[in-house]
Amino acid sequence: MENKVPIVSVVSSFSGLTMPVIGMGTASYPPVDAGTLKSAIVEAISAGYRHFDTAFIYGSEQPIGAAIAEALNIGLIKSRNELFITSKLWCTYAEPDLVIPAIKMSLENLQLEYLDLYLIHWPLKFSKEVSRFPVPKEEVSVIDIKTVWSAMEECQLLGLTKAIGVSNFSSRKLEEILSLAKIPPAVNQVEMNPLWQQKELNEYCKAKGIHVSAHSPLGSKGTLWGDNRIFDCHALKEIAEAKGKTIAQRWQICLRWVYEQGASVIAKSFNKKRMEENLEIFDWSLSVEELEEIRVLPQCKIISIGTFIEPSAELEAQL
């Protein structure tokens, strides 16, 4: 099937990176089995998805690799080059001598020779393998930006990834990277949705030439860390009804809103019909009045480091 998804240029990348503005997310809690995930990825490629977002910690790299191999074998795509694959450096490997082994491990899982985008997952380092959540605060520290980013740059220079970036970074942490980077981050993937709009961070990234990619555009409903606030939002329900969307389709309002902010969006669904509906946001737009209704919605962050680690005021102050 011909790709339906528009492409966005990520101008800060040395490689002149372009990426589809909608990617399929693969983080799930509780985790789905590998066979289910592989089948969902193949269905997504058939539906028109070309951007897939994974991470070492998700446990989805191997099923994605198997799905890509199958898609090539049955002719859904002619070349791996048709796909855009993002993965992430997990906190356990956020040390300069572990970055290249970590990306090579992800590439082996994915059965790929290179990634399109490799991100630092969080600006945090864990002292050992995580055995429980929340992670004990004594096992967590802020990463050494200078040495870890240098190792990320080496990944790009070696051709292991076409571009590098970060995830869940504040403007303060981005400023640290920009002050020392030879290759600036191409992307900052952060939580972004109508109830956590990230206005200041989005403006900062635009000014610095860093593309914003939105994870959790629907509030991570159904996960350990998410909630139903977006689905229960009365204003979003009304806008959906005005657009002729069913109550079950109101997530399209959130995806369209993110797209109109100039960001790309990572949307996760393993349901075939919903995967297709997630792509149906490009032939309509939100009105000025509807955008204003969304602009004034009360803001509340869903995902924070406190979701995954024990409370630490000292650590929070460094981020």
**Per-residue DSSP letters for the chain?**
----S-EEE-TTSTT--EEESEEEE---SSPPPHHHHHHHHHHHHHHT--EEE--GGGT-HHHHHHHHHHHHHHTS-S-GGG-EEEEEE-GGG-STTTHHHHHHHHHHHHT-S-BSEEEESSSEEESS---SSSBPGGGEEE--HHHHHHHHHHHHHTTSBS-EEEES--HHHHHHHHTT-SS--SEEEEE-BTTB--HHHHHHHHHHT-EEEEE-TT--TTSSS--STTTT-HHHHHHHHHTT--GGGTHHHHHHHHHHTT-EEEE----HHHHHHHT--SS----HHHHHHHHTSPP-----GGGTB---HHHHHT-
pLDDT score for 319? 81
Active-site residue, 204 included: no
Query: Residue 249, Cβ neighbours under 10 Å: how many?
Result: 15
pLDDT score for 24? 97
Catalytic residue among 29, 49, 58, 118: 58
Asked whether residue 51 is marked as a ligand-binding residue, the answer is: no
Strand partners, 20: 7
pLDDT score for 224? 53
Least confident of 203-207, 288-292, 309-313: 309-313
Average pLDDT over residues 35-44: 97
pLDDT score for 181? 97
pLDDT score for 195? 95
Least confident of 30-34, 173-177, 205-209: 30-34
Q: How far is the C-alpha of 231 from the C-alpha of 58, rounded, in Å? A: 24
pLDDT score for 12? 54
Cα 181–187–193 angle (5° rounding)?
Answer: 140
Question: Which residue ranges form the domains of the chain, and what is each CATH number?
Answer: 7-314 (3.20.20.100)
Average pLDDT of the chain, as a whole number: 91
Residue 245 has pLDDT above 80, yes or no: yes
pLDDT score for 35? 96
pLDDT score for 275? 94
pLDDT score for 221? 58
pLDDT score for 1? 43
Using pLDDT thresholds of 50, 70 and 90, give the confidence band for residue 142: very high
Using pLDDT thresholds of 50, 70 and 90, give the confidence band for residue 144: very high
pTM of the model: 0.94
Least confident of 11-20, 204-213, 222-231, 242-251: 222-231
Residue 307 has pLDDT above 80, yes or no: no
Average pLDDT over residues 148-156: 98
pLDDT score for 11? 56
pLDDT score for 6? 84
Least confident of 57-61, 161-165, 298-302: 298-302
Strand partners, 87: 118
Average pLDDT over residues 124-136: 82
Residue 304 has pLDDT above 50, yes or no: yes
Residue 222 has pLDDT above 70, yes or no: no
CB 71 within 8 Å of CB 49:
no
